[in-house]
Structures are given as C-alpha cells and as structure tokens.
Structure 1
Amino acid sequence: MAKDIIKRAENGTYYFRANLGYNPATGKQIQKYKSGFKTKKEAKEEYSKLILSSAEELVADKESPTFKSFIEDIYLPWYKTQVKESTYKNRLKTVQKHFAFFYRKKVDEIEPIHVQAWQLKLAKEFSPNYVRIIQGMLCMAFDRAIILGLAKKNPSRMVGNIKSKKVKVDFWTLEEFQKVISLLYKGDYYEHYLFVSFWLLFMTGMRIGEASALQWEDIDFETGLLSITKTLYYKSMNEYKFVEPKTQASNRTIVIDEDTIRELKEWKEIQEKVLPDCGFVLSYSGIPTSKHTLPRALEKLAGLAGVHRIKIHALRHSHASLLISMGENPLIIKDRLGHEKIQTTLGTYGHLYPNSNFEVAKKLTGMLSYTPATHSIADYTSNQFTAEYHREVI
C-alpha cells in the first residue's frame, strides 16, 4: 500500500514534503516542505499544484544553480582533485571569503559589470597582485562552469585583470645575516637547531617545505650532493606528510659548500645524542617543528640584531641575492632554486643587477683598437671607383 505523503501535525494541521527528484548538476535531492493546512484536502490540492505548476521552474533551477551551489557542490569537489592538499586548503579560505560576493546570483546571471564591481571593491582593500590571483581563480571557476554547460561565457575573462605591480624582493645581505646568526649559541641544543636551520636555508635557497622534509639520507657528505625530492605538508605535530615538490623542476640535486657540510655533520652528531633515530635534518624533537617556530625565531633575532625583519621565505631570496653578488650565471641560479623557467629567475631577481650595464661597459672598454689611416681611400683607388663607392653608401 502506497505511503500517504500528507501528514498530520500534533496541532491538528496538515503538512507534506514533496520529493522532486535530483539535481543533475549537484546530485542532491530536491525537496519542498509545506505545512499549516487546515484540512487534508487542502494539503493534497497544494501538493498537486506544486508538482504540476513548478515543473518548469524546477528544470530551470537544475540547469542554472546559484553560484554558491556551483562553487560548494560542484567546483570545489572537482578542484580538490586537481591540486595538492595543501594548495586546496590554502585556496579554500580565499574562495569562501571572496566568491561570496556572487553567491546569491545564478551562474548564468553573472555579467561583466558584476565582476568589475567586485574587482574594484577588492582593489580598495588588497594589493594588485593579490587581486590578480583571486581573479585568476574566478576565471578558472567560470571556465569549469562553461565546460559543464552551466554558463555560456566567462565574465571574468571578458573584464580582464587589473595591472600587476612589480613587487620588490626582500632579502638580507651577507652582513645582515651574519649579524643574526652570530647571536645564536651552539652550546644550547635548541639554539644550535635554529642556527643550522637558518644556515641551511640561507646557504642553499631551499623552500621551507623542502628543508623541513629533508632527511639525513638525502645528503651525501662525501660528494656534497643534497637531493631535494619532496616537500613537507604540515598541519600539526600529529598530522604531517611528504608530498610531491612544487614543480617538476623542484626535483633537483644541489652541491653544498664545505662550510655547510661541516655544520651539518656537527649538528648530526649533537642530534644523535638526543635523538638516535631521527631521520629529519631540521628537527630537535624527532618530528618536524611547528611551521610557526622558525618564522617567530627569525623575527625575534632580527630585532635583537638590529636588522629589518624578513619572512622565512626571504632567506631563499637572500641566497639568490648572494649568488648574484658573486656574479653567478642566472641559469645556475635557476637550477639551484628549482625554477622551471629562466624567466621566473630573471623576473624575480633581475632588479638585483643594477650595475650590469656599467659592468658590460667596463668589459667592452679596450676590446677594439684603432690605428689611424695614413691615406684616404682615394689614394688607393681610381676616381671612378670612389664615385661608385660613395653612391652605394648614399
């Protein structure tokens, strides 16, 4: 016997919950709930009316979900499969915060004028480069909506992005870094850990995730080769894991200098006394330290040393700056840092070559020599040849 969809509430009124199928885009069940009917007949009439009259409206809803539904139920589950877990979690907050501007509209209702209003609003609060990143993410979402047939155009691409602004790379000079590193006392176990951590980052240019994932087995002390094959995704002291490096070029082998080899050997001996079975190079407790530990220590040390504060990633820039000051070839710097393209290296650090034109001019000086001629060309040729020569030149 069929189940009666009309129910009676405790107060004597009637209600129903109509199941209207599933949204093909989201896979979620579509339901409508109505209550407060005085008689069962009224409830049945309303139920029939809903089923018959709202069919077209429901189909339209299926074809064009709200932007909120599209992002949360369709786009983000797909996007999660396309990027690293750490990237997804970092981008998720950005999406939820900034895409909410469009959430009440349906996907196909969003026009270029709406995107432009959103873009101008963001430009008042954030840097141009940050706005460009967010709008790039919006473009990607609309591209996906077009592929799925939920939109016919990409209003974000139609509007275009705002002009980028060259960001000055922050770094420490060799002298500034030496002021900071000299404050650490290697006789203290924890300070020795900080010392070798900052030293390694400054002298190799590794990303903090790459350095955090570094194992002792990744270092060949005989040849000085250091292999970078992974990076560390850190959520908490109980939840961390190795993941693939940022790009294919990030998988690399670099040669470390003899001073760094000596410092690493010394730290390994000290660490083994406290943690005999520790595989992590940069660890004082057997597990990777909190992602806030080194940045906070670096900030405090900068204040004590009287140098400007930098972020932990700026030690990577400091390494590149050091190599440039040594006159190293940009291609070598590219490979050492793990950049995929030389344009990335030159685009990031090109401004650190302020006197390159002067250096070129110095090198060109004296390359050519000229011994003054004692006779004119006319003395060696006929007047007819000279006339033809001048005509050709003119």
Structure 2
Amino acid sequence: MAKDVIKKAKNGTYYFRANLGYHSVTGKQIQKYCSGFKTKKEAREEYSRLLLTKSEDSVESAGKLPFKQFIEDIFLPWYKTRVKERTYDNRLPTVKRHLSYFYDFLITEITPLHVQKWQLFLSKKGYAPSYIRIVQGLFSLSMDRAVVLGLVESNPSKIVGNVKKTKTKIDFWTKEEFEKVLSFFYKEDYYQHFLFMSLWLLFMTGMRIGEATAIQWEDIDFETGMLSIDKTLYYKNLDDYTFVEPKTKASVRHIVLDEDTLTLLHQWKDVQQAVIQTNFVMSYNGVPTQKHTLAHVITRFAKKAGVHRIRLHALRHSHASLLISMGENPLIIKDRLGHEDIETTLGTYGHLYPNSNFEVAHKLKGILSFQTATENKDTSPKNQFTAQYLRKDLETNNAITMQ
C-alpha cells in the first residue's frame, strides 16, 4: 500500500512534498514543499493541482528519459567537472563510440541482460578485455550517477559485473631491435636527426610521451647529467597546448642521463638552435611534437629494420626491459619510471625476470650445513598412520637380531 504523501505537522496543520518529475537538463528531481494547510482535504487538493500543472522544465517521469539525452545533457557535463581536462578529452570519444549502444533505450529500460550482451558485442569486435573494462567502467559510472539522481533504482552494470581482468602482455623492443631501427636514420638530414633524438630519448629514459614532449632545455643540467621532470604537456593542436601537472606525485622526479645521451643531446641542441630558436627539446619547428608523428615514425622505421612494430608507449616498456636485462634493482626502475609504488613496477615487469628463479636456486645450493640424528629422540605420541610403519620397522629389526 502506497504511503500517504499528506503529513500532519506538530502544530495541527498539514504539509506535503510533491515530486514534479525530473529536470530535462540536469536530471535532478524537481520537488516542491507546501505547508500550512488547515485541513487534509485542502492539502490534497493543492497536491493534485501541482501534479496536473508540472513545470515545463520537467520530464513526465524518469522512465521516459532517453539514455542518449541522459549522457549528453546530464552525465557528460557533470563528468567534465570531476576529472582533469585532458582526461575528459581522452574519454569523450570512448563514451560516444561505445555507450551509443544504449542510445535507443530509455534509461530505465537498460537491464543486466542488455549489459551482458553489450560485453559480448565488444568482445566479438576484437577489443581487449582491459579496454572493455575501461569502457564498462565509464558506463557503470554514468549509471551510478543516474542512481544518485533518482533516475533509476539500481545499476545494471554492477549487477552483471565487469569482464574478467587479464594480464596485459608487455610489448617492447630489445636492445638489438632498437639498434637495427637506429641504423636506418640519416642524421645529416635535419628532420631525421630530430626523429632519431626523440626515439633515443624515450628509449633511454622511459619517460611518458607527455613528459618527454614537455622537456625544456633548462630542465637538463649538462654538468650533473640530471634531467628534471616536473610537468607534462597537454596537447590539443598546434595552437592549443599547455603544461599541466604530472600524472602522479611520483611522476615528479629526476633522471640521471648517461654520457651517450648527454653527448647526443649536445649535438642535437647545436643543430636545432642553428635552425630555430626554441626551448622544446623534442621539436624541429618550434612547437612541441605530436605523439602521432612519432607513432608513424615507429611504423615506418620498424618496417625498414625488419622488426615488429610497437606502440609509442612501448618505448617506455623497452627502457624498463633494458634495465631488467642489465640486472638493475626494481626500486631503481620504479624511481626512474616514476611509479607510485613498487607493486606497480613488479606487477607490470616482474615477468621479465625469466632467469631469477634459476639464479635463486643456484645461490641456495649448499647454503645450509646440517647432519641428521643417528637415533630417534622424539618420544611424542605417533599417529595411527605412521605408527604401523614404526611397528614394521621394530619387527624387522627384532627378526634380524634373533637370527
């Protein structure tokens, strides 16, 4: 039985709170509180009148709100205020591409079965489980918001659960593969010299691309060899880019550059500054480099060198792999890459220590010195299983003694 919305106050008058639908833009529930009615009848009459003359800004009910309208008019404007601008810009295409699967539904029509079918649909499209988890995370976040706003009673995404988490295979270039790629760059050509230096710097430092493209010449201390990383570049286009805070607090760090890298940077600075005056290290035209430029370079030169193509971010993995092959301590690798904790480093690259178990086993050989007892000094009660073997041993020993 439905609860009566008309309530009696302590002073004997009557009041009510009327739900007048949901705002078509914000999605928030529209409510109006009325009080001071002398009789319950008066209160009910006013309540009925309000329901018949709902605000023009409201939708008739949450059940009639299309999911597409909810995403575009309610969720995305709210989401934009909750995350960094670059995060929003990166996620927006994903939201529009994959959440459009539900655009023909009213928000209350989406069921757990629909979500499960959507998961299978994305899987059949060839998307990796890790990517599907990100996409569904965004959908689940939107439905959580709908629950908060009272547009739906529950989140169907949480009922179904996300796809199973799988270990992502780390792709990288070995030292030998990278050497083959480098051999195809003609450094006498200004543009190829720039490309050579860009890939070298990423491979030899493990910087994220946003960190690398933000590096200024004053960030490099050529006397100490210290590279300071305290910013990342948020790039939209040639005319719209800015420096922003690094990904995490641990991303603010110092990397000591090797002598080869410092020498090559000296050479590149002389060549670059003779052509154009700029503070950007990774630049040939005075503006920061686009990651797509370097990604295309990797594709072209990997093909020339006859090595497998890797993603741009895999140069960061390549640096970690190189350090591991050199036997570097994971804590050093953690600090160099700017990971927040050692678990991230080991969780990502732990499998790249293929000989660690064999090395440990070799070191354990002969480490303990011992000699077992020549007689039984344990007088504690024996369990039934071992006692039968003890009796057999005694009988055998007695038989031998009698002979």
The normalised TM-score by structure 2 is 0.78
Q: Secondary structure of the residue that 1:195 maps to in structure 2? A: helix
CA distance in 2, matches of 1:55, 1:200: 63
CA distance in 2 between partners of 1:369 and 1:97 (Å): 65
* 1:369 CA displacement: 3.1
Code of the residue aligned with 2:283 in structure 1: it is S
Give the structure 1 partner of residue 101 of structure 2: 101
Match of residue 390, structure 1, among 350, 370, 379: 379
Residues 220, 227 of structure 2: 8 Å contact kept: yes
Count matched residues. 340
Q: 1:54 to 1:108 in 2, by over 3 A?
A: farther
CA–CA distance in structure 2, aligned partners of residues 242 and 216 of structure 1? 15
Change (3 A) 1:52 1:163: closer
> What are the Cα deviations for residues 82-132 of structure 1, in whole angstroms up to 9, with x where unaligned?
222222122111111211222233323322122112222222112222211
1:211 aligned onto 2:200: no
In structure 1, stretches of 5+ residues that fail to align are 1-20, 29-50, 379-385
Question: 8 Å contact 1:234–1:291 — kept in the other structure?
Answer: no
Distance 1:161 1:189 in 2: 49
What does the per-residue CA deviation read over 1:253-274, in whole Å, with 9 as the maximum and x for residues that have no partner?
2211121111112211221211
For 2:219, the aligned partner's letter is: D
Letter aligned with residue 262 of structure 1: T
Could you tell me which runs of 5 or more consecutive residues in structure 2 were left unpaired when the two chains were aligned: 1-19, 28-49, 384-403
CA distance in 2, matches of 1:303, 1:243: 35
Task: Compute the TM-score of the two structures, normalised by the length of structure 1.
Answer: 0.79
Residues 52-201 of structure 1: pairs in structure 2 closer than 5 A? 61=60, 63-64=62-63, 65-125=65-125, 126-201=127-202
Counterpart of 2:341 in structure 1 is 341
How large is the Cα RMSD of the aligned pairs?
2.6
User: Is 1:24–1:62's contact at 8 Å kept on the other side of the alignment?
Assistant: no
Q: Which runs of 4+ in 1 moved over 4 A?
A: 51-60
Q: Give CA deviations for 1:48-94 in whole Å, capped at 9, x if unaligned.
A: xxx99785999663545221111101110111122222221221111
SS of 1:292's partner is helix
Letter in 1 for 2:270: E
Corresponding position of 2:365: 365
Say whether the 8 Å CA contact 1:25–1:62 is kept in structure 2.
Answer: no
| Structure 2 contact 139–157 (Cα < 8 Å) conserved | yes
Instruction: Tell me, yes or no, if structure 1 residue 26 matches structure 2 residue 25.
Output: yes
- Could you tell me which residue of structure 2 aligns to residue 41 of structure 1? none
Distance 1:340 1:108 in 2: 40
Structure 1 residues 58 and 87: CA distance shift in structure 2, 3 A: closer
SS in 1 for 2:297: helix
**Contact 1:173–1:321 (CA under 8 A) maintained in structure 2:** yes
Question: Aligned in 2, Cα 1:26/1:60: closer, same or farther, shift over 3 Å?
Answer: closer
Residue equivalent to 1:269:
270
2:45 aligns to what? none
Q: Report the identity percentage.
A: 60
Contact 2:23 2:57 in 1 (8 A): no
- Aligned residue number for residue 11 of structure 1: none
Q: How much has 1:308 moved relative to structure 2?
A: 1.2
